[in-house]
């Protein structure tokens, strides 16, 4: 007969020490997991300060409740597709010989013709 029970598996480390993995799991199950997952080693959702918001059992129950109501692939019937009108984008054309001030004036006039006006110096300012 072996000295070690079959329920608890023990491993031998590289240095020859006995390591009980089940004991390590139990000891550290409330320790926050590494990374940005916001869970502990057990799977509970953690909030600020490491407090448990939702227990693992609640998360699993919710998952299976949602998964149980989902349709199977064999029950899938595609819905009618709605044809959408293609969107036509307006392109702005500028002259190659136009100065930067003329290009800016043209763009400003195309963007908001009602909200912007040109003053005596040629600058565009908002109305009001």
For residues 38 and 88, the model is more confident at 38
Segments forming the whole domain that contains residue 49 = 15-70
Residue matched to tokens 């057990």: 42
**Residue 88 forms part of a structural domain:** no
Q: What's the per-residue H, E or C state across 16-41?
A: CCEEEHHHHHHHCCCCECCCCCCEEC
Q: Which of 54, 70, 86 is the last residue of a domain?
A: 70
Q: Over the stretch 22-72, which tens digit does the pLDDT of each residue have? A: 888 889 988 898 888 899 988 999 999 889 999 999 999 999 988 877 666
**Residue 23 forms part of a structural domain:** yes
**Residue 118 forms part of a structural domain:** yes
**Residue 21 forms part of a structural domain:** yes
Is pTM beyond 0.75? Reply is no
**Residue 123 forms part of a structural domain:** yes
**Mean pLDDT across the stretch 78-101?**
65
């Amino acid at each position: 007969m072996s000295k070690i029970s079959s329920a608890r598996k023990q491993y031998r480390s590289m240095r020859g020490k006995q390591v009980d993995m089940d004991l390590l799991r139990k000891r550290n199950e409330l320790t926050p997991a590494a990374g940005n997952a916001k869970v502990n080693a057990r799977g509970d959702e953690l909030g600020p300060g490491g407090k448990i918001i939702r227990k693992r059992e609640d998360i699993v129950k919710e998952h299976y409740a949602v998964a149980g109501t989902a349709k199977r692939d064999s029950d899938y019937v595609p819905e009618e597709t709605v044809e959408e009108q293609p969107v036509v984008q307006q392109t702005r054309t500028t002259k190659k010989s136009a100065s930067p001030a003329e290009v800016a004036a043209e763009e400003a006039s195309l963007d908001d013709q009602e909200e912007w006006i040109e003053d005596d110096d040629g600058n565009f300012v908002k109305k009001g």
